[in-house]
Amino acid sequence: MFKRLALIGVGLIGSSISHAARRAGLVGEIVGASPTPATRERAEELGLVAKMYADPADAVRGADLVILCSPVGTYEAVAKAIGPHLQQGAIVTDVGSVKCAVVRDVAPHVPEGVHFIAGHPIAGTEQSGPDAGFAELFDGRWCILTPGDAADKDALAKLQEFWRRLGSEVEIMSPEHHDMVLAITSHLPHLIAYNIVNTAAHLERVTDTEVIKFSAGGFRDFTRIAASDPVMWRDVFLNNKDAVLEMLGRFSEDLSSLQRAIRFGDGETLEKLFTEARAIRRGVIHANQDTPQPDFGRRATGDAKVTQR
Amino acid sequence: MFKRLALIGVGLIGSSISHAARRAGLVGEIVGASPTPATRERAEELGLVAKMYADPADAVRGADLVILCSPVGTYEAVAKAIGPHLQQGAIVTDVGSVKCAVVRDVAPHVPEGVHFIAGHPIAGTEQSGPDAGFAELFDGRWCILTPGDAADKDALAKLQEFWRRLGSEVEIMSPEHHDMVLAITSHLPHLIAYNIVNTAAHLERVTDTEVIKFSAGGFRDFTRIAASDPVMWRDVFLNNKDAVLEMLGRFSEDLSSLQRAIRFGDGETLEKLFTEARAIRRGVIHANQDTPQPDFGRRATGDAKVTQR
Ligand SMILES: NC(=O)c1ccc[n+]([C@@H]2O[C@H](COP(=O)([O-])OP(=O)(O)OC[C@H]3O[C@@H](n4cnc5c(N)ncnc54)[C@H](OP(=O)(O)O)[C@@H]3O)[C@@H](O)[C@H]2O)c1
Ligand SMILES: NC(=O)c1ccc[n+]([C@@H]2O[C@H](COP(=O)([O-])OP(=O)(O)OC[C@H]3O[C@@H](n4cnc5c(N)ncnc54)[C@H](OP(=O)(O)O)[C@@H]3O)[C@@H](O)[C@H]2O)c1
């Protein structure tokens, strides 16, 4: 589909795109750029790219597809640096977890005749770096594109096909709506997970050792989410402030009413709210975004429940 | 170790105890009690027990070990019903997720010469009912016992050995401290998970379909926790009010300061807090309470990442 793909950043998402694009035979050659020498060395060693560059401008020369895969806080500088070196007719896209800020930061630096279409694959793990990627990451997941009205129809169709062949289904929406949807399905969950882990770490009456030892009662799953990359998430919150604050307001309002129900021993309200939450869970399983397999904290020996049944 | 084990309630925890006790050959005979005919039938069909009774008083006759495995809100009535029928020298214990309220509700109904020692295995999944249990549930997990000073030493030693042979490590603490530790490691995480799922379900600007479709960004993991049994959790919150409200206060305070950092674009504070959260995660993995395997929402075909590596 493409002769030369340039990945700006080869962490979890960039390296997974490399694996998945090679699995499907979508690109002739892949090159990359990243600031840290160790990352560049490792990306070449793993065969993720034919060549890594320190300067993203060098990586995009001659590329007909450029994908920004670094934290969103770096996009403006990257766009400024690569702008003058982009090839006519090339498609520039990204994978950033926010979209309004990305369109605002990147679009002005993309020259006429180059097609910029912002995107975001809704797939990930809590790990990062070039070793974290794998080809199956996008399989059965959604990729959201936020092209805007002026986007080139052919470029959009080609990018959609690219994501489908990486394993994803594609959904088109506005950057504004994307940021609202992701604020509740991804940004707020991460914020809350980070928060409870920090609350637990600073108690006087319960030690960190106890928190860790007895984490199998639920806390464990929050520590997993809170293990995600701090710089990536800092940039997400700095760049999706309004939607996150709106969702956080709703969350706190609802939490206050749960708190009230606990304080006054209102079991009926608690049971009703807990029961309603199950319907959404059934939807998630039905939509194939998780399995009904129970989770009890897998161990190095594998998931006993799954292998046993 | 025991001639006759009576399980009052054979849901996830009761059925798992049956599996694990039979795996280790710890008991001669197992009987059970539960109010719903369908559950009684299923428990016998699965061979979890030799016989199920509708009345817990019938189940405990002749039992030298009695374990309460029903929601904690039922304990007082159960204790009252079984009290007069308990065999001299028998051990009575429980698996309830709170301990002060259980000691308060159960102890007065246990006659002289019968040893009551409250307990709580820190292990579980989000599923419930007699089909949900499996022998490995307690392997490598902790079981907390809260015997109090007056407890019989021999009975305590025997119960500790029982839990070790079910696969667990045993920790002794006071009911008060248990309730504080579990408020942060289990009760608050569940409350927050239920809350965000409900917040997400009642938005005007994002539909339920969108919340479900794009849940792979983090929300998915919260729906899993929020799939736990509503009655069990209602009883937990009604019976550990003070500790939960204390932890909730701390959580909300911390969340307000994160909210402030987002509002004022304070990236330094955000990155610092997110980085600190990683240390606790490393502790959880080091303590074998979770694996470092990345989670990306397993599918029915198995965990591609795990099988692939
Ligand atoms: N993780 C997820 O679950 C997920 C899901 C969907 C989308 N995203 C989005 O995907 C993007 C990357 O996330 P990730 O999880 O792949 O992060 P990651 O594993 O931490 O990788 C980030 C990569 O960006 C590179 N980088 C940093 N600054 C750069 C710069 N100025 N120019 C070029 N490259 C730079 C890093 O290189 P060095 O090692 O050399 O510093 C590294 O290779 C983010 O925008 C994020 O919002 C993440
Ligand atoms: N789930 C966890 O992760 C977890 C972890 C540690 C401890 N615990 C504790 O373990 C206990 C059981 O939880 P679970 O997850 O096993 O729940 P579950 O799967 O919902 O099972 C509850 C069982 O209790 C029975 N029951 C209900 N009312 C009863 C009564 N009045 N007398 C006798 N039996 C009665 C139910 O029988 P019917 O079907 O006939 O109604 C069912 O067999 C709770 O106290 C909970 O706090 C749970």
B211 to chain A, any CB pair closer than 8 A? The answer is yes
Q: Structural domain boundaries of chain A?
A: 2-173, 177-286
Lookup: tokens for A39: 């990352």
Kindly provide the ipTM of the predicted complex, given to two decimals: 0.92
Share of chain A above pLDDT 70, in %: 95
Residues from chain A that touch B306, judged by Cβ atoms under 8 A, are 302
Cβ-based contacts under 8 A for chains A and B: 372
The pLDDT value given to residue A299: 40
The yes-or-no verdict on residue A36 having pLDDT over 90 is: yes
Share of chain B above pLDDT 70, in %: 95
The reply to whether ligand 1 has any atom less than 6 angstroms from the CB of A189 is no
Q: To which CATH superfamily is domain A2-173 assigned?
A: NAD(P)-binding Rossmann-like Domain (3.40.50.720)
For A128-167, write each residue's pLDDT tens digit: 999 999 999 999 999 999 998 999 999 999 999 999 999 9
Going by pLDDT thresholds of 50, 70 and 90, the confidence category of residue A297 is low
For A243-282, write each residue's pLDDT tens digit: 999 999 999 999 999 999 999 999 999 999 999 999 899 9
Give the whole-angstrom CA distance, residue A23 versus residue B124.
Answer: 38
The yes-or-no verdict on residue A92 having pLDDT over 60 is: yes
Q: How far apart are the CA of B44 and the centre of ligand 2, in A?
A: 17
For A165-214, write each residue's pLDDT tens digit: 999 999 999 999 999 999 999 999 999 999 999 999 999 999 999 999 99
Residue labelled with tokens 């599918």: B299
Q: How far apart are the CA of A76 and the centre of ligand 1, in A?
A: 14
Q: What is the mean pLDDT of chain B?
A: 94
The reply to whether ligand 1 has any atom less than 6 angstroms from the CB of A95 is yes
* CA-based nearest distance B94→chain A, Å: 17
A225/B308 Cβ within 8 A: no
A307 to chain B, any CB pair closer than 8 A? The answer is no
Mutate to test the pocket of ligand 2, among B8, B30, B34 (most ligand atoms within 8 A of CB): B34
The yes-or-no verdict on residue A240 having pLDDT over 50 is: yes
A252/B217 Cβ within 8 A: no
The yes-or-no verdict on residue A296 having pLDDT over 90 is: no
The pLDDT value given to residue A304: 36
Range with lowest mean pLDDT among A287-301, B41-55, B148-162, B271-285: A287-301
For B171-209, write each residue's pLDDT tens digit: 999 999 999 999 999 999 999 999 999 999 999 999 999
pTM over 0.90, yes/no:
yes
Going by pLDDT thresholds of 50, 70 and 90, the confidence category of residue B305 is very low
The pLDDT value given to residue B41: 98
The pLDDT value given to residue A8: 98
B275/A124 Cβ within 8 A: no
The pLDDT value given to residue B288: 87
Residue closest via CA to ligand 1's atom 31 equals: A74
CB B143 within 8 A of CB B119: yes
Mark A109-135 as b/e (b = at least 16 C-beta within 10 Å). bbeeebbbbbbbbbbbbbbbbbebbbb
Supply the DSSP string of B182-196, one letter for each residue: HIIIIIHHHHHHHHH
The pLDDT value given to residue A300: 32
CB B54 within 8 A of CB B83: no
CATH class of the domain at B177-286? mainly alpha
CB B97 within 8 A of CB B36: no
For A53-74, write each residue's pLDDT tens digit: 999 999 999 999 999 999 999 9
Residues from chain B that touch A291, judged by Cβ atoms under 8 A, are 297-300
Ligand 2 binding pocket, CB closer than 6 Å: B 8-14, 33-36, 39, 56, 69-72, 74, 78, 95-97, 120-121, 124, 128-129, 132, 229, 232, 236
* CA-based nearest distance B89→chain A, Å: 31
A295/B219 Cβ within 8 A: no
Q: How far apart are the CA of A6 and the centre of ligand 1, in A?
A: 14
